[in-house]
Structure 1
């Protein structure tokens, strides 16, 4: 080594450790940390993409296997499907806010709130013959089913369960929702709440002295051949009927589900708990609130398939001799009644198990319908976002809602006074 180089090395020797320290700090600079974060995000993205591709391949294999072996095979019993870690590796670690909303129809915070409320009934093992699954996983399985109506065979390999376990989870979660969440989110309104509901309905829909709208929804199901005539509706497909009442904000406050699709709305109403409450006088405030100086019960709004009552109004029968006042009343009522039609649309779009046939047991369908309605209220109360794209599934539904025959035989003639009084109200307010 030349003499000059040795002298330079001796001069730099005291500075060697400080230089190494500076270089080390440079590697730990904010730019380096940002680079590490980007690398970590890219690694997570690749991992997520890997699992998505893996499950897409498994899905295609499952479909191909079912086509070869027939519809009654159970490929979900394959070890590769039982070992699925979709829930642990993808949902719990990789799902963003949009993913939670799309797959479970609610935010992650609301999802875990629902899990905490259902825990008392779901913390036990579903079956002593199966491994223990967390409450969150059981709820996720049920919500995935309710939101997408995906077949049990597909859900089983996504969540690493047997088909029997998936069915048990759906049943247990729906029953727990009805048992534990219904008292919190779907109660008979008290007197003060009825007054508030009437104010909201009038402010939002311009219909006075009204606390809600009444309507029905047919849900398709598969029934034994010997019972098919009882459940066949006017559109010639088998269904059960949901009778529901909503407030001015589209939140359900009375439900009745399970009547056969062949029954008329008026008959279902007379056999419902709502009718019993009215007959007992325990639904409306006592004494009745005054309307235009007259003590008057609060009213509900129905369509022409329901009987006219002093507490249930429907449009005047369409004919050429309707007065302008009656036409105006029909317009106001139909506009306000649309609140339940919109509620049914959002209910079916969010929980698409109500759109088509499902392969669950017939006796579970009413419980599943009630669970969907209660979850609708949960989403309403927690201000969960509704994605308009979900409505596209309704446009392609193969089960259009049946028409209902007009009901006149059970009309209460004294109720005509109530309808006339509110008709006059609309006319006088427009003149002012």
Structure 2
């Protein structure tokens, strides 16, 4: 028998009148009625204290419920297409990601006040990253509190961006066979030896102006909005092998690179030391390709000029075009990254957590690329940090490296031009004159 019915029976056995009028009940002049009211209040109080669910209005057919129903009812192609549109990966890839995240989330469930199932938590965070939705919008789709969305966003992006957790598994500087594979793919693309990566910077637009104590002027960039800078290096498959996001948007790419751990590793020769390729008699270590916003170094080769330059030789312009083919990989990688994870086009995360979320999206980008997930069609990135007016001059310690970098570029150019002369047909210039591949010292030694 229900407790409420037992109370009614008890009151009747005590001789109380259940038809006592409301005024009498309210004034508590009837002892039995008073006891009855107290017991009813105690009963409902105990129910409310024992479970908060009585205060929540259950929502039927939430977004997550519909996604799960579709998992079982649709064929694989329809299911994967739907999952890719909402979570930027197929259902199978989602399950793989879930397996990667779960061990770290199981040990930190107590950090979230309103615990939800791991798959649901991962799904709602991916949904937020994919569309850039605010916590309130995501919470209504997944029937959780906005604070829960915020906490799981912090937790999952921390797992993805942490070097001791998932970052190092999906983002790593190449070496050994992996490095050799990078070099081979870039050489097949450009016919230039020992390229192993492409580097550039892009703006991650902030949703709101940084607070006064965060010095907003440093985040105002040359494209006229507030941002943080993302530096990335990728391979020929548009997979990042290094990313860095620790600079405000007003900073120059070259300054951002010099402040990164990658710069120190390259400069000290701790990475990309082998294999050495002897090019035109000069030992060339593996190097990355940058645009003219970067300083030229033995480990960082840039074009002779910013674009087709009438004052440069035809061969120099063609050599620059080949370097730019390699550099286009990082531009495409940024385009794919931002198309997949829409939050990067309008970062509605507090500045304190913005770099963590950016790096997490880069890890997810690599996860999708390595899993063979479909790439977005439009790969243009309109927020590349490529409109700086000058390259900050190198300090004294970098001056000799810069000279060595120019000598390396001249050797690479000579080697490339000699092979063009050997295997390719002559090129006709705009005036109809045949350009003969005469490797004059004045051209080959251009600095």
Residue in structure 1 matching 2:68, options 85, 92, 109: 92
CA shift at 1:413, angstroms?
Answer: 1.9
Q: Which residue of 1 aligns with 2:387?
A: 403
Q: Which residue of 2 aligns with 1:198?
A: 183
CA shift at 1:88, angstroms?
Answer: 4.8
Matches within 5 A, 1:304-319: 304-317=292-305
> Could you list the runs of 5+ residues in structure 2 that have no partner in the other structure?
1-54, 72-78, 423-447
CA shift at 1:421, angstroms?
Answer: 1.1
Q: Secondary structure at the match of 2:166?
A: helix
TM-score, normalised with respect to structure 2: 0.73
Matches within 5 A, 1:223-234: 223-226=210-213, 227-234=215-222
Residues 1:371 and 2:360 aligned together: yes
CA shift at 1:126, angstroms?
Answer: 4.6
CA shift at 1:415, angstroms?
Answer: 1.6
Q: Aligned in 2, Cα 1:423/1:408: closer, same or farther, shift over 3 Å?
A: farther
Q: Which residue of 2 aligns with 1:284?
A: 272
Q: Secondary structure at the match of 2:202?
A: strand
> Could you list the runs of 5+ residues in structure 1 that have no partner in the other structure?
1-77
CA shift at 1:85, angstroms?
Answer: 4.4
Using the TM superposition, name which of 195-204 and 318-327 deviates more: 318-327
Q: Which residue of 2 aligns with 1:119?
A: 102
Quick check: 1:214–1:245 contact (8 Å CA) kept in 2? Answer: yes
Q: Which residue of 2 aligns with 1:384?
A: 373
CA shift at 1:118, angstroms?
Answer: 0.8
Q: Aligned in 2, Cα 1:360/1:342: closer, same or farther, shift over 3 Å?
A: same
Q: Which residue of 2 aligns with 1:162?
A: 145
Q: Which residue of 2 aligns with 1:353?
A: 343
Residue in structure 1 matching 2:170, options 177, 185, 191: 185
CA shift at 1:346, angstroms?
Answer: 0.6
State the distance in 2 between where 1:125 and 1:379 align. Answer: 25
Q: Aligned in 2, Cα 1:275/1:316: closer, same or farther, shift over 3 Å?
A: same
State the distance in 2 between where 1:154 and 1:424 align. Answer: 58
Q: Secondary structure at the match of 1:362?
A: coil
Q: Which residue of 2 aligns with 1:216?
A: 201
Residues 1:429 and 2:419 aligned together: yes
Q: Aligned in 2, Cα 1:366/1:88: closer, same or farther, shift over 3 Å?
A: closer
Q: Aligned in 2, Cα 1:146/1:206: closer, same or farther, shift over 3 Å?
A: farther
Q: How many residues align?
A: 348
Using the TM superposition, name which of 206-215 and 139-148 deviates more: 206-215
Q: Secondary structure at the match of 2:353?
A: helix
TM-score, normalised with respect to structure 1: 0.75
Give per-residue Cα distances to partners, 1:361-411, cap 9 Å, x unaligned.
Answer: 1111101111111111111111011242xx39x78x8x6866223316226
State the distance in 2 between where 1:345 and 1:269 align. Answer: 20
Q: Secondary structure at the match of 1:110?
A: helix
Q: Secondary structure at the match of 1:363?
A: coil
Q: Which residue of 2 aligns with 1:83?
A: 59
Q: Aligned in 2, Cα 1:429/1:278: closer, same or farther, shift over 3 Å?
A: same
CA RMSD of aligned residues (A): 2.3
Q: Secondary structure at the match of 1:383?
A: coil
